[in-house]
Amino acid sequence: MRRTVAIMCAGLMGFSVASTLAIQPTDGIIRKGEGSLRQELNKLELKPFDATLWGTLSDWKNGSAISGATIAGKPVLVVLWTDYVPTSKRAFALAKRLAEKFGPQGLVVVGVHSKNDWQNAQKPEAPKDATLLLALDAQDQFRAGLRSAGDPDFFVIDRAGQMRFASVASESVEAAVELVTKETREAAAGINATLDAAAKATDAAQRKSEANRSNVDLTRLPEVEFELPAAEVYANRALWPAKPRTDGNNGNQEDPPVKMTIPDAGYLGGVKPATKGRVVVLYYWGLEARQSFASIDRMELLQRQHGRDVAVVGVLSPISENNQNGGQNQQENDPKKLEQKVRGFLASRTLQHAMLLDPNGGLFAQGLPQRNISTDKTLFPLVSVISTDGTLRTWGVLEEPAVRAGLDKVIQNDPGVAARRKAEDAYIRAHDGK
C-alpha cells in the first residue's frame, strides 16, 4: 500500500523559533536570546550571582526569604513564571519536577512570579524532601537584574554561587541542573580554570592530529579495524543533546531511545556507505516535493565539511507538496523504474554522499518520530541524526538552532567517532603519513 507523507511546517515538532536560541559549544546547553540581549546574558555567566537581587523579592512561600549566605554551597534553579500563562505553567511544572528529582542532592528551586495576578496564582507546596520556594517580583527588579526578556525563563546557579547558565531553553534545563547538582563546590569554583585548560588541551590535540593527517589523503585511507566502545560509554547522557519531544509527551518524561538500523540494500549503485564509527545523518527528499530539492546540495556540503566523521544519506521518501497530491504514482513505486528516474534527476550532480530509496516511507516515519504532520509548508533539510551505536539522537529541520547544535554535539562527543579517529591516527603514524 502506498504511503504519502505531507510536508511539515516550519514549527516542526514544537521546536522554539529559530531566532531565539543560542548554544555554547563547550557545554551543549541551549540558551535563549539573540543579538545584543544574548551578549548581555553571556556576560552574566561564570561570574558570581548578584545576591542583592534576592532582596528585591517579597511574599515568600514554602520557606523564609533567602540570601547568598543561606544558599551557599547549593545549586539553584530559578524559574521566572506567570501562573495564568500556559507556557509559564508548563515551565513551572518542569521546575517542580526537577525539585523533586534533585532535591535530595541539595537543589534549591526558586519560583519567581511576576507582579501580574500574584494573588490568584497557584502556589503549590514543595515536594517531599525538596526545596521549592516561591516569591513575588513586585517591581520586576529581579527580572531586570537577570536581563530576562520575558516569562517563562530559567537561570541556573552553581554551588560556588556563580551564574552558570543564563536564560536556558526548556529542553536543556534538566541537563543544566543535573550538571551543577553532581558537581562539587570546589569543582564549580574552579570551572573557569578547568574550561581554559580543557580548551588548550583540545586545541593542542587537534593541532597534533591535523599535523599527522596533513600529508594523508583521507579519501584513500582504508577502513581501519577498531572496536566500538561498550554500551555503558554511550549511556552517559551528558554526551548527547536533549531529544525533541514527540506528540503525546506532556514534557514530564523523556521519550525512550529509538534504535535505527540503516538498510543494507536499496542504494543507488548498490553499495552501502561505510558507517562504522561515523555519525549517520539521514535527510529526506521527494521527487514530488520541489522544496526538498535544495536539500541535496546542502547536505553534500555537510558531507564534504565533515569528511569521514559523518555518513550523509539522502533518503528518497514519499513526500508530497500537499495532502491532495496523492503521493508517488505506481510507476515510481516500482524499484527499478524509480531508480532510473532518480538517476536521471541526479545526473548533473557529482555527489560524495549516498542515496537510498525508501518508497514506502519506513525510514521517514521512524527517523522523524512526530505524528501530527499535516501542512503544506516546511523548511528543509529534514534530518535524523544517528550516533555510532545506532541511536536516534535528534531530528527535525537542520537549520533550527536546536537541531544543528544537536548534530554538532553528537559529532563532537560520539565515542565511536573518537575510537575510529584514534585508530586512523595510529594507522597514519605506522605508515609515516604515506
Looking at domain 5-9+241-430, its CATH class is alpha beta
pLDDT value of residue 2? 38
Q: Which three cell numbers stand for residue 387?
A: 550516533
- Which pLDDT tens digit goes with each residue over 328-377? 444 456 778 888 999 999 988 889 999 999 988 999 999 988 644 433 45
Check whether 213 has a pLDDT greater than 70. no
On whether the CB atoms of residues 387 and 393 are closer than 8 A, the answer is yes
Exposed (0-12), middle (13-18) or buried (19+): which is 164, by Cβ within 10 Å? buried
Give me the residue spans of the domains in the chain. 5-9+241-430, 29-189
pLDDT value of residue 270? 87
Which of the two residues, 26 and 22, has the higher pLDDT score? 26
Average pLDDT of 221-234? 94
Q: Which three cell numbers stand for residue 143?
A: 527580572
Q: Which three cell numbers stand for residue 76?
A: 539553584
Q: Whole-angstrom Cα distance, residue 309 to residue 302?
A: 11
Q: Whole-angstrom Cα distance, residue 128 to residue 332?
A: 60
Check whether 62 has a pLDDT greater than 90. yes
pLDDT value of residue 163? 96
pLDDT value of residue 335? 75
Q: Which three cell numbers stand for residue 100?
A: 523533586
Which of the two residues, 373 and 307, has the higher pLDDT score? 307
Instruction: Give the DSSP H/E element, type plus range, for residue 48.
Output: strand 47-48
DSSP 62-90: SS----TTTTTT--EEEEEE-TTSHHHHH
Q: Whole-angstrom Cα distance, residue 407 to residue 388?
A: 13
pLDDT value of residue 214? 55
5-9+241-430 and 29-189: same fold? Answer: yes
Check whether 421 has a pLDDT greater than 90. yes
pLDDT value of residue 36? 86
Q: HSE on the CB side for 421, CA within 13 Å?
A: 23
- Which pLDDT tens digit goes with each residue over 87-113? 999 999 999 999 999 999 999 999 999
- Beta-bridge partners for 80: 112, 153
pLDDT value of residue 194? 78
pLDDT value of residue 191? 84
Average pLDDT of 6-35? 51
Check whether 6 has a pLDDT greater than 90. no
Question: Is CATH 3.40.30.10 correct for 29-189?
Answer: yes
Check whether 3 has a pLDDT greater than 70. no
Q: Whole-angstrom Cα distance, residue 241 to residue 414?
A: 11
Average pLDDT of 400-424? 92
Average pLDDT of every residue of the chain: 84
Exposed (0-12), middle (13-18) or buried (19+): which is 302, by Cβ within 10 Å? middle
Q: Whole-angstrom Cα distance, residue 48 to residue 218?
A: 46
Q: Which three cell numbers stand for residue 159?
A: 554551588
Q: Whole-angstrom Cα distance, residue 349 to residue 295?
A: 13
Exposed (0-12), middle (13-18) or buried (19+): which is 20, by Cβ within 10 Å? middle
Check whether 45 has a pLDDT greater than 50. yes
- Which pLDDT tens digit goes with each residue over 268-301? 988 899 999 999 999 999 998 888 999 999 999 9
On whether the CB atoms of residues 47 and 166 are closer than 8 A, the answer is no
Q: Whole-angstrom Cα distance, residue 430 to residue 149?
A: 55
Average pLDDT of 123-130? 93
